Amino acid sequence: MLVPVESKALDHQYVVATGSMVWRSFQALGFAREKENVTRVIVVVVVVVVVVVVVVVVVVVVVVVAVVVVAAVVVVVEVVVVVVVVVVVVVAAAEAAAVVVVVVVAVVIVVVVVVIVVVAVAAVVVVVVVVVVVVVVVVVVVVEVVAVVAVVVVITKFKV
């Protein structure tokens, strides 16, 4: 919780109190008692950040591949639908009495194609939203990790 600061002395006291609290938390965890331990903590944090980034990249690649596969399936389905429509029209042209059937089948096929396209677009939108959320989460995690490392380094350096 942030408190309004009325003077530089109060500001300093607040910073020292907050820093001491964070420092005690790290000590309770057995971290950062000496400078070597601080270095160890920083290395662990960097490794964690790298692992998180690699996992996010893998997830994004998998999602993109999934979108490409879905798009390919949609294209194949569309081609099949068009071929069916052409065959139905050719057969119906041979039998002029089946005009009503041809119209009904054509309308049904058009509706199915529209539904498929809408579902494909919705899938792409969902994938894009998921990728954006994952990237935002990774950025937030990296910023938080860097902030924690900075706090540990500052507290160790100035021995608050």
Tens digits of per-residue pLDDT, 130-158? 778 878 887 887 788 778 777 777 777 77
SS3 (DSSP) at 125: helix
Examine the pLDDT at 26 and tell me if it is beyond 60.
Answer: no
**Cα(139)–Cα(132) distance, integer angstroms:** 11
Task: Determine contact, residues 52/58, Cβ cutoff 8 Å.
Answer: no
The tokens describing 5, both together, are 């600061």
Task: Determine contact, residues 155/23, Cβ cutoff 8 Å.
Answer: yes
- Residue 23: is it exposed, middle or buried by C-beta count within 10 angstroms (0-12/13-18/19+)? buried
CA 30 to chain CA centroid, nearest Å: 33
- What's the mean per-residue pLDDT of the chain? 71
**Cα(118)–Cα(131) distance, integer angstroms:** 20
pTM higher than 0.85, yes or no? no
Residue percentage of the chain with pLDDT more than 70: 69
Cα separation of the two ends of the chain = 20
- The number of beta carbons lying within 10 Å of the beta carbon of residue 152 is 20
Contacts of 156 (CB under 8 A, 6+ apart): 32, 35, 38
